[in-house]
Structure 1
Amino acid sequence: MKFKFEKLIIWQKAMDFGEELYKITKKFPKREMYNLTSQTSRAVDSIALNISEGSIGQTNPEFKRFMGYAIRSLAEAVTCLHKAKRREYISNEEFDKHYSKSFELMNMMIAFKKKIK
């Protein structure tokens, strides 16, 4: 038996995206450990965490609220990607790859949130 959120494609993609960004933060300089590395990890982990937490709620408005938090966390993770690119911690190719995945996930999450009644 699975939890309801484990069946959600957006949760699965958020989990994958989180692990991908976690891997790239390992390349960041040590001086970023308590700054950009930590912020990126917290933001990207919050995406899947909020989806799962909201899905357990008793009401659809509550789930919508948590989806809003997840969407905001994804926007924060995208900003962290921009910071990493500007600071030259990741290549333009890495940025483009993860930016594209985040854009796809954002669209899926917004569409999903709209369908919650």
Structure 2
Amino acid sequence: MEEKDNKYFDHEKLKVYQLALKFNKYAYEICSKLPRSDVRDQLERASNSIVLNIAEGNGKYTPKDRCRYFDISYGSSLESAACIDILNNRDLITINESNSGKLMLKEIVSMLIGLIKSNSDRVYNDGEDYNA
């Protein structure tokens, strides 16, 4: 009998963290099929950074500290999207593989913007969703 997937830390309960883990697995599967390259290495690092900074940021005590880590995760999400574009442009991944990853990233970015807004007194333009 398989054990239930327990959540031991608060960040594990976040939907954005769960989706970031899903994207990280996607990136790993894509990268494992590719030869070593600067873009492959960058996608591996950026996809790890998304997950790690959500976890670290969620554990910070002040809104300013949380935002700093969520901002880094946001930037790593956009960096991952650019890596996917480059891999697709070089015909190293298919358009379906590209779209699958970028849809996850779009949702991650939207959730991160929500976390940043809820932890910040910054002024934002009104907008329902992150639209690329």
TM-score by length of 1: 0.91
Q: 1:5 aligns with which of 11, 14, 18?
A: 11
Paired position in structure 1 for 2:64: 61
* Segment of structure 1 superposing worse, 60-69 or 96-105: 96-105
Q: In 1, distance between residues paired with 2:82 and 2:64?
A: 27
Aligned to 2:91: 88
TM-score after normalising by structure 2: 0.81
Structure 1 gaps, min length 5: none
Q: Which has a greater percent of helix?
A: 1
Which of structures 1 and 2 has the bigger CA Rg?
2
Corresponding position of 2:126: none
User: What is the alpha-carbon distance in structure 2 between the residues aligned to residue 114 and residue 44 of structure 1?
Assistant: 22
Greater relative contact order structure (CA < 8 Å, 6+ sep): 1
1:20 aligns with 2:23: no
Matched to 2:112, the amino acid is M
* Map of 1:107 onto structure 2: 110
1:29 to partner: Cα distance: 2.3
Q: Is 1:40 the counterpart of 2:46 in the alignment?
A: no
Query: Could you tell me the percent identity over the aligned residues?
Result: 29
Instruction: After superposition, give the CA deviation of every residue in 1:40-85 in whole Å (9 maximum; x if it has no partner).
Output: 0000100010011111112111001110000000010001000100
Q: Write out the 4+ residue segments of structure 1 that deviate beyond 3 Å after TM superposition.
A: none
CA distance in 2, matches of 1:3, 1:60: 18
Asked if the contact 1:27/1:89 (under 8 Å) is kept, the reply is: no
The 8 Å contact of residues 25 and 37 in structure 1, kept in 2 or not, is answered as yes
